[in-house]
Structure 1
Amino acid sequence: MKALFLAGGFGTRLKPITNDLPKPMVPIMGKPLLERNIENLKKHGVDEVVLSTCYKSHKIEKYFEDGRKLGIGISYISEDVPLGTAGAIKNAQSFFDDTFLVFNADILSDIDISEMIRFHKEKGALATIAVTQVENPSAYGVIEHDENGFITTFKEKPQPHESSSNLINAGVYIFEPELLEEIPSGRAVSIEREIFPMLLQKGFKLAAYNRCSYWLDLGTPGKYLKAHKDILGGTLKIGSHDFNKNPQCISNTAKISHGARIAGPVYIGDNVEIGAFAVVGPYTVLCHNSSVGMGAKVIGSVVWDNVNVGSGASLINSVVMSNCRVDRNSEKYNAILTDKFSHPIAV
């Protein structure tokens, strides 16, 4: 089976993390989010992926190339101007002649893709939309379905009294290729606001797959930190390490000096150096080749590759991007550190 990733977004709400990085390339536990999602798809028998790119597409292509290093075929289709979700899908029409998957590339979830495919086939639907529950759906497009799982209504940003549903579109779809014929070409088109309601009006079967217990749109720096805290806390499993069983994942190439205190849950990557009497954790990620100086504190933070946290510095609830230096004895709280500036995280 083939899959399409919609990876062309600008990641505006995630700035400054996305100032020079496409949103799907933002690292989750040291690997790009897109790589994490592709690795998950391989487990479910997907052997070919199409990446629809726009913003800084060369960075995605340079990293993944033809997919050989991941053991999967990767093709690219790029938009000169954003075409919207449905426009991007239409743009990739030539790649798909059978049932295929579509993903928003900025989503973290625990959706069982094999089970979702089985559900889709059982329902005989033109499209199956994964849905997830939210406490307040008024900021989203809400989906209502009947007792058989078939969608009956789409409501855009309803008030609480206007819908009994708290289900929203989770950004994961299974489509039959016939759906592509229903999308107009040559202009920007929204799959959520234009195509899905039109398909329902025409009488096509659209199914709602409501078996997702974890879902997060990596839309803001706060959510980026939350994603890591959820992984470290065992709410979402990423990779092979089980934080529920062992709250400390420490590379055997890490060097931890005498007197340093490691408080799980933590992830400490390859060739990380931690100085004497430093405090690392809880809920902290130190990616590869980073260092924490003597007596420094790194708590509730995500530190990317090749970062140096100076002696005596305090880094709390923050994100430090690759190749940055945190000054000695400085204090950073609720901040994003780029190579030149420190930006506050809204809390």
Structure 2
Amino acid sequence: MVIKVLLLVAGYGTRLQQDLRASPSHHHLLGVPKALLPLGQEDALITYWLDLFKASGIPASDIYLVTNAASYSVFVSWANRHQVPLVNVFNDGTMSNEDRLGAVPDINLAVKHFGLGQDSVLVVGGDTLFLKDFVFNNFFQTAKTHPNRSLVTVYSVPDEDVSKVGIIETNSKGVVTSFLEKPEPSETSSRYACPCFYLFVPNALSLLDAFIDESKGKPKEEVDATGKFLAYLFPRCPVGTFPISGRIDVGGLSSYLQADVYYKSM
């Protein structure tokens, strides 16, 4: 199995930018996309992923980015510094959070633009971070045992967080059987949340158009949350799960600073 990586970096990080404006000591980070925030010893959050993927045998030529027009030039600069081909950076044409396309349309556009429809594509959110014990090669080996099955990571959340996230239910073999959007803890025995780290096989990618078509006329949130596509996908194509110990959320300034300290300790 050959994996192509798509870094989803077209978001605008509005909450983080609000926090930065309110913190004079961090004004030097104003306007920096989340994915390009310095992290630990790396120049950018996504450099952590780039190094991990390259160490696992995925060449820089198989790593792609979809970003927005407002941040396109800074992602091109990042790609240039790290020997990622500049043609692998796709601009979705949007200039603000108000006219954003949404995560799922961005994935679809990038898959078509780069001609990845017949590949297995690992979609990674630009602010996705895992705990230091995550071993990508184990994820990769699990994927190879079921080459026709998409694979997502899951981690356990405490009861008080169940109603804040999408929850995945699985069968005894770890295959997704249900996706619940921010349920009450009493509604499910599952505590599996699912971060934006999805390996989509070609059969799954082929359903992106249909999902987007069926979402027309609905609030933008229907196509901006990648979990909505998972909910659409699992009844139509098998989706396996790969448990991890946890993730680090980089939503606002406080969580970013905590993540930076954590990664400096690695």
Q: Secondary structure of the residue that 2:144 maps to in structure 1?
A: helix
Q: What is the aligned partner in structure 1 of residue 107 from structure 2?
A: 89
> What's the CA shift string for 1:292-312, capped at 9, x where partnerless?
xxxxxxxxxxxxxxxxxxxxx
Contact 1:22/1:60 (8 A) holds in 2? no
Matched, 1:2 2:4: yes
> What's the CA shift string for 1:9-61, capped at 9, x where partnerless?
11112122663111111111251111122111111111121110014221111
Q: What is the aligned partner in structure 2 of residue 206 from structure 1?
A: 239
For 1:231 and 1:200, how far apart are their aligned partners in 2? Answer: 34
Contact 1:131/1:167 (8 A) holds in 2? yes
Q: Secondary structure of the residue that 2:154 maps to in structure 1?
A: strand
Q: What is the aligned partner in structure 1 of residue 73 from structure 2?
A: 58
Q: What is the aligned partner in structure 2 of residue 160 from structure 1?
A: 185
Q: What is the aligned partner in structure 1 of residue 35 from structure 2?
A: 24
Match 1:128 to one of 141, 151, 160: 151
For 1:137 and 1:220, how far apart are their aligned partners in 2? Answer: 20
Give the AA of the match of 2:239. Answer: L
Matched, 1:171 2:202: no
Give the AA of the match of 1:52. Answer: V
Q: What is the aligned partner in structure 2 of residue 112 from structure 1?
A: 135
For 2:119 and 2:172, how far apart are their aligned partners in 1? Answer: 28
The structure carrying a bigger strand percent of its residues is 1
> What's the CA shift string for 1:81-124, capped at 9, x where partnerless?
32222211111123313222110011121432221122122234
Q: Secondary structure of the residue that 2:195 maps to in structure 1?
A: strand
Match 2:46 to one of 28, 31, 34: 34
* Structure whose alpha-carbon radius of gyration is higher: 1
Contact 1:84/1:190 (8 A) holds in 2? yes
> What's the CA shift string for 1:208-252, capped at 9, x where partnerless?
111x224112111111121133234x4xx3xxxxxxxxxxxxxxx
Q: What is the aligned partner in structure 2 of residue 77 from structure 1?
A: 90
Matched, 1:49 2:39: no
Q: Secondary structure of the residue that 1:45 maps to in structure 2?
A: coil
Q: Secondary structure of the residue that 2:234 maps to in structure 1?
A: helix
Matched, 1:11 2:13: yes
Between stretches 182-191 and 71-80, larger displacement belongs to 182-191
For 1:123 and 1:149, how far apart are their aligned partners in 2? Answer: 12
Contact 2:75/2:89 (8 A) holds in 1? no
Identity of aligned residues (%): 24
Between stretches 107-116 and 152-161, larger displacement belongs to 107-116
Q: What is the aligned partner in structure 2 of residue 225 from structure 1?
A: 257
For 2:239 and 2:54, how far apart are their aligned partners in 1? Answer: 26
Contact 2:152/2:194 (8 A) holds in 1? yes
Give the AA of the match of 1:13. Answer: R
For 1:121 and 1:41, how far apart are their aligned partners in 2? Answer: 16
Q: Secondary structure of the residue that 1:92 maps to in structure 2?
A: helix
Q: CA deviation at 1:70?
A: 3.0
Which of structure 1's runs of 4+ aligned residues deviate more than 6 A?
none
Q: CA deviation at 1:155?
A: 0.2
Q: Secondary structure of the residue that 2:32 maps to in structure 1?
A: coil
Alignment TM-score, normalising by the size of structure 1: 0.61
> What's the CA shift string for 1:314-343, capped at 9, x where partnerless?
xxxxxxxxxxxxxxxxxxxxxxxxxxxxxx
The answer for unaligned runs of 5 or more in structure 2 is 21-25, 95-99
Contact 1:2/1:100 (8 A) holds in 2? yes
Report 1 or 2 for greater relative contact order, CA contacts < 8 Å, sequence distance ≥ 6.
2
Q: What is the aligned partner in structure 1 of residue 97 from structure 2?
A: none
The answer for unaligned runs of 5 or more in structure 1 is 238-347
Contact 2:149/2:238 (8 A) holds in 1? yes
